[in-house]
Amino acid sequence: MTHAGDTLKFRNGDRLQGALLSATATGLRWQADGAPAPILFEATNLAELQLAPRPPTNARQLHGWLVELTNGDQLTGDIVALDDQTLTLTTWYAGQLRLQRTMIKRLECRALAPVVIYSGPTGPSDWKSSSAGWTYKQGKLYSRRGQSGVISKEVGLPAVANIEFDIAWRGQPYWAVGFYNAAGLNGYQLSCNGNYLYLNRNNQRNLEGNVQIAERGQRTKAHVTLRVNKPKKTIAVYFDNVLVKQWTDTTEFDGKGTALSFQSQGQADLRLANIVVSEWDGKLDSDPAPTRAPSEDLVRLSNGDKVSGALRSMTGREAGLTNSFAAVKIPLTKIAAIDFAGSTAATARRQATDVRAYFPDGTQFTLALEQLDEKAFAGTTENCGRVNLPIDTFTRLRFNVSDKSAASPEEDDWGAPLTTPRKHQ
């Protein structure tokens, strides 16, 4: 059974509506809307397959751990066991996976992850706009050069908050993010004006001058994080997870509201995505970790403590770690995250047939394509061998990920219309 409503994107920017029939490493069979017979497309010409929703084949489950691999992939699952060679993970979407330990970068306990208050954008009416300066398309907000405007949303910012978003630009980056806004009150505003960052309160007073952004000329995008501690009156700004500056308001905290806003000043094309507001524990990532050798693992505990050493084993209940002081057993319920030693790390080699699957929760998995049909996606990876994923478990596939000359879906978005997609000729 085919599912009309799939979308096939090509590397030249064209798009075609229809239904997936099957695919192998060399090509993809497609039933285009209105076409009398299936069409075979060469895999080298493909950019992305966006899948229409399918009926679920497996019961969904919220897994307790997030696994980050050295190649950038992320998987969720529950820990069965860890030894010096392998992490065994059980998943609802792919059964039991046996991941090579050297290819694991980090484990994070999802049960101890911050509470997410807002994640979006989710649609054209998700944010209120003061003008026609912003447009929504496929999970992103766009502002074109020559257009300016403000979008805002009441997100319920907590007193200690983590605000994250991805922003990209073409041209000089002139934009601003406002937080703790209320009707008639501006709260705080972080402005990016070319090479500098400014922080203002209520659009009037600049806090402690400006900050020059390193390597601004080489940047065309950034992952921006704001960490605000209202009781302590501190505001920290990160670019790509690197602390740029922490401000302290020496007067009364000015944020009277709980809304968030973004402003485009019209000097550049802007693309805004992955806006997340969550609770924060008040601890900066710049807090020093214990000194450790490259061969040591680092266990981060839920109370903020950090212990380095050799992680010998894990079960579904506890982790065993040894260092120069002792051998200890740590309950998994006390572990927030584990950073694995870098000295023995390895990365799965890229294959010409690699295809990246994107899951609804934002995680992704790269496999060398063997077979894709209406039921499943089968492929291999050095991370864990052969994997079979039911097709309803992911939302899209990106092709030619090992080819650096292939434009990513985000890069393609700049050139594509924001309204009606083009048809493949």
Q: What is the tens place of the pLDDT at every residue in 206-235?
A: 777 677 776 545 678 888 999 999 999 999
Q: Half-sphere exposure of 2 toward its Cβ, with a 13 Å CA cutoff? A: 16
Q: Which residues of the chain have pLDDT under 50?
A: 216, 407, 409-412, 416-425
Which structure tokens are listed for 295?
A: 């061969």
- Whole-number Å distance between alpha carbons of 201 and 208: 11
Closest alpha carbon to 68 in 394, 382, 339: 339
Provide the pLDDT for residue 405: 62
Provide the pLDDT for residue 220: 82
- Whole-number Å distance between alpha carbons of 259 and 279: 15
Residues 6+ positions from 411 with CB-CB distance below 8 Å:
none
**238-245: long-range contacts (C-beta < 8 A, 24 or more apart)?**
238/285, 239/213, 241/285, 243/284, 243/285, 243/286, 244/197, 244/211, 244/213, 245/197, 245/211
Strand partners, 273: 140, 166
pTM: 0.71
**Residue tagged 């940047």 (tokens):** 219
- Whole-number Å distance between alpha carbons of 175 and 173: 6
Strand partners, 322: 310, 327
- Whole-number Å distance between alpha carbons of 191 and 188: 10
- Looking at residue 227, its amino acid is R
Provide the pLDDT for residue 413: 59
Distances (CA, A) of 303 to 115, 168, 335: 16, 35, 9
Provide the pLDDT for residue 104: 97
- Whole-number Å distance between alpha carbons of 165 and 346: 30
